[in-house]
Structure 1
Amino acid sequence: MLRTLRRKLGKLCLWAVTATAVTVLWLHSEIESQGEQGSLHTGRLERRVQQLPGDEPNLATRTLASQIRDDRYKDGRSLNGTDTDSRLKTFSQYGFRVVEDGIFWSEELEVLVPAGESDNDWRRTLTSIRNATVLEMYDDAPCGDRTSKKNALIRLSDGNLMCVRYKSSCWLYGEVLSFHLSRFLGFHNVPLVTLSHLNQEHPNWRNPSVQWTMKESGWDEDGTVSLMQWLDDATEDVPVPPFVKGDIKQLNSSDPTLQQLTRDELTILIQYTDMVIFDYLIGHYDRLMFHEFHSDLNQPTHNALRQGNKLWLIDNETAFFFALKLSPAHRLVTMRRFLESVCIFRRKTVERMRTLASDVDSAVEMFTNTLSDWEPTFSAMRDTMSCRILKNWPLLYIDYKQTLRDRIKDVYAHINNCEKAVGS
């Protein structure tokens, strides 16, 4: 009887395993099928983007979808569905895995990267900031770059501290576009930024004592400023990345220095690899190119702050308009070189770029809709944006949507090249 019972249990287990495998294969084919059809309609692409790791909607579906994607890589399948050597892994001298599948940061390091605010959280914070009243203005406090003496630190009635940038529109728009694009891409390393119009009817500026300070500071009553989240416990202790210092030509899985870095050092380095992609997309040359012209590479990374192991990318005002319209050609070549100096990526970043590149027109249109929803100023500039570098300068015009299309394709092509190099 015992032998018979064992045979029955064995058959039952075999049936359960087979049924589970069939279910997983069906789900896999369904997700792949939806992915192929998603490029036909913006709404379908939106559902695909929302299911990527790091977003809020549909946690159960997202977890299952990301697990199937991860399993595809672990089984030795590449971005293009070709065979790769799944044994391409790099281990630290401290015993933990650093790189897996040749181009991905390991899962055990990924979980160490501090998360940013969820989409629901930052939207709730943004709404609160827009309806809050400025209680105090500290116009003598250091806030933002030192090129504008009219910048100020403010304390709002909802408890938030914000850095007010008083500048011409191109600089302000660059900051706001950068923030919203970072959230759209799933990067949580850019502080919240929003525009605020300077008039007494706006909830932010109805405090009489603040109005007096604004007048004394020479602020235009009909002007616009940006309010950027203040990081009061952040430090400038952000070392220059090794691929900028020239210590290595390219950050890839064969780099022996990876084995010598601690978990904390690698946690910052992982965020650097997102930073390089982000800066290329927005045309922000200032952060890394700053160190091209300064011999002291032991100084902190320009326009970057740190809270523990969280990297913050600040002062993105040169993005888009200034960088892409006025920058000499050699700067764009240098930015391309920085992009190509990185060949290890976060798995979720690769998934995000692959989804966007699969239907780049719909992806950029989605971003435009999101931007218009949360920053009404941009609703009238959906195709061609315009701004001024200085108050009395002529308007600059830029087709930022075409720029994004081209650069998303560039980034994903580079990721593919890195994978091909590993597989060769």
Structure 2
Amino acid sequence: MVRAGLGRAAALAVLLASASLAGLWVGRLAERPGRFPRESSPALSPSAPKTFRTLLTLPGEEQRPSRGRARVGRERERGRAAASAASSSPVRGGIFWSRWLEAQVPRGFPASEASSWLAAARAASVVGLERGGCGRAPNRLARLSDGSRACVRYGINPEQVQGEALSYHLAGLLGFQERLPPVALSRVEASGAGGRRWAAVGEELRGAPWAEGAVVSLARWVDNLTDVVAPQPWRAPLREAGPGALSPPALRGLSLAQLVELVQWSDLILFDYLTANFDRLVSNLFSLQWDPRVMHRATRNLHRAPDGGLVFLDNEAGLGHGYRLLAVWDRYNEPLLRSVCIFREGTAARVRDLHRLRNAASELLHIYRTREPLAESLGFLSDQQARLLQERIDLVHQHILDCQAQAAQEHL
């Protein structure tokens, strides 16, 4: 009995000593910074559910899954938004590109950047002229003293230089000037006050077929451009594609990139009709008579920038020059216009306002004189050409109304 009691007492003493040592060891660990957090672990908290997962969770680890879940949640939300946009109709109201689709169009040459470049180009000197890269043989690629480059276009006659400048400003009135490289006018002078700007390239000027005092256009050079082939609605001859080739049914199965390109093409075809420009898609259509594959080849004076945006280049065939040749080229420009029955709403609104106010030529003249210091040197459209511009604005507006009526009829 005594021996058993002593054994129990010894065991109790050993147990108490072990507990004291354990408590001392835990207490000393808690005093060491960085080993365990001072706050109690949720896994060991009396209120925490004693699941197998919580028992395996290390102190502080319980926060990681929540951050991961939040990140995954955000990614899923973005994915759902993208999927929702992709599944949304690219057209609203039957004839207008949807806003979410327009938001995907690359920005091109923003107004602020264009304004900065134009100011710098007008103040810079020409330090080099190179052949090639800018179209016809008389044109040159100029290196400017500010480090930028520009295509200098001389034009067969002053009317073409005027067409380049006026087309640029008309695109501004229509709301898609960002698709065109900025254009400024410059006077070529080998001597005198203005000669200082061209003094460094006097030798090159003597080899160029430019008349002294001629006004040329300087269009901002764009690197890394690639060719553009006409999209599917215009691959077939227009007599087969027919009116409204670009309409909602034609968009089925197209990728986002294809839709974004068509948004820009709808502006381009309206623009080329209004300016009667025959040196772009019309030129390809004309060549169909001897080259049946021409619509599968690069489109003239149209390129794609690295960001996917279309660049409407070399517009000197528009307006004055194009209007003189309407009898030749409108057989192609008119069917092209009627092939489009989806528009940017902003473009349609600008056309509607110019139709309603009947002031297309006067608005163009005002913006041209305000923003181009050499505007008076080339003059403006003749009275007849000004009337032609308004008539073409009116016809585009009526065409948009016809497409709208057709869409409403099909919706019934």
Runs of 4+ in 1 over 6 A off after TM superposition: none
TM-score by length of 2: 0.70
> Which one of the candidate residues 395, 400, 404 is aligned to 2:389?
404
Output the CA distance in 1 between the equivalents of 2:198 and 2:340: 49
In the TM superposition, what is the alpha-carbon distance from 1:380 to its structure 2 partner?
A: 7.0
Which position in structure 2 is the counterpart of 1:413? 398
Could you say if the C-alpha distance between residues 204 and 108 of structure 1 is closer, same or farther in structure 2, counting changes exceeding 3 Å? farther
Output the CA distance in 2 between the equivalents of 1:402 and 1:166: 27
Output the CA distance in 2 between the equivalents of 1:110 and 1:277: 17
Which secondary structure state, in structure 1, belongs to the residue aligned with residue 167 of structure 2? helix
Which position in structure 2 is the counterpart of 1:258? 251
Output the CA distance in 2 between the equivalents of 1:374 and 1:304: 25
1:229 aligns with 2:220: yes
Which position in structure 2 is the counterpart of 1:339? 337
Which secondary structure state, in structure 2, belongs to the residue aligned with residue 319 of structure 1? coil
CA contact (8 A) 2:186 2:374 kept: no
Which position in structure 2 is the counterpart of 1:123? 115
Structure 1 residues 302-344: Cα deviation after superposition (integer angstroms, max 9, x where no partner): 21010132001112111112221134x2521321111111001
Output the CA distance in 1 between the equivalents of 2:125 and 2:393: 39
* Match runs of 1:5-154 below 5 Å: 95-139=87-131, 142-146=132-136, 149-154=137-142
Could you say if the C-alpha distance between residues 204 and 277 of structure 1 is closer, same or farther in structure 2, counting changes exceeding 3 Å? farther
CA contact (8 A) 1:155 1:162 kept: yes
In the TM superposition, what is the alpha-carbon distance from 1:105 to its structure 2 partner?
A: 1.0
1:183 aligns with 2:172: yes
Which structure 1 segments of 5+ residues have no match? Answer: 1-90, 386-396
Output the CA distance in 2 between the equivalents of 1:114 and 1:405: 30
In the TM superposition, what is the alpha-carbon distance from 1:205 to its structure 2 partner?
A: 5.0
Structure 1 residues 147-200: Cα deviation after superposition (integer angstroms, max 9, x where no partner): xx2321111112221011122212111111111111121112111122211113
Which position in structure 1 is the counterpart of 2:151? 163
Structure 1 residues 10-53: Cα deviation after superposition (integer angstroms, max 9, x where no partner): xxxxxxxxxxxxxxxxxxxxxxxxxxxxxxxxxxxxxxxxxxxx
Structure 1 residues 213-272: Cα deviation after superposition (integer angstroms, max 9, x where no partner): 211334322222211111122111x121333222743235442x4121111111111100
CA contact (8 A) 1:163 1:230 kept: yes
Which secondary structure state, in structure 2, belongs to the residue aligned with residue 135 of structure 1? strand
> Which one of the candidate residues 243, 246, 254 is aligned to 2:233?
243
Output the CA distance in 2 between the equivalents of 1:204 and 1:263: 50
Letter in 2 for 1:412: H
Which position in structure 2 is the counterpart of 1:269? 262
Size of the aligned set, in residue pairs, is 314
Which position in structure 2 is the counterpart of 1:214? 205
In the TM superposition, what is the alpha-carbon distance from 1:372 to its structure 2 partner?
A: 1.3
Output the CA distance in 2 between the equivalents of 1:204 and 1:175: 24
Could you say if the C-alpha distance between residues 401 and 212 of structure 1 is closer, same or farther in structure 2, counting changes exceeding 3 Å? same
CA contact (8 A) 1:176 1:193 kept: yes
Larger radius of gyration: 2
CA contact (8 A) 2:248 2:342 kept: no
CA contact (8 A) 1:178 1:316 kept: yes
CA contact (8 A) 2:134 2:141 kept: no
Output the CA distance in 2 between the equivalents of 1:214 and 1:178: 27
Structure 1 residues 103-158: Cα deviation after superposition (integer angstroms, max 9, x where no partner): 1111221100112333343223212111101122223xx23223xx2321111112
Could you say if the C-alpha distance between residues 92 and 266 of structure 1 is closer, same or farther in structure 2, counting changes exceeding 3 Å? farther
Letter in 2 for 1:217: A
Output the CA distance in 1 between the equivalents of 2:366 and 2:160: 21
CA contact (8 A) 2:160 2:321 kept: yes
Could you say if the C-alpha distance between residues 235 and 170 of structure 1 is closer, same or farther in structure 2, counting changes exceeding 3 Å? same
Which position in structure 2 is the counterpart of 1:322? 321
CA contact (8 A) 1:163 1:228 kept: yes
Letter in 2 for 1:364: A
Could you say if the C-alpha distance between residues 317 and 380 of structure 1 is closer, same or farther in structure 2, counting changes exceeding 3 Å? closer
Output the CA distance in 2 between the equivalents of 1:364 and 1:244: 31
Could you say if the C-alpha distance between residues 254 and 193 of structure 1 is closer, same or farther in structure 2, counting changes exceeding 3 Å? closer
Letter in 2 for 1:104: F
Could you say if the C-alpha distance between residues 354 and 326 of structure 1 is closer, same or farther in structure 2, counting changes exceeding 3 Å? closer
Alignment RMSD (CA, Å): 2.4
Output the CA distance in 1 between the equivalents of 2:209 and 2:93: 57
CA contact (8 A) 1:132 1:204 kept: no
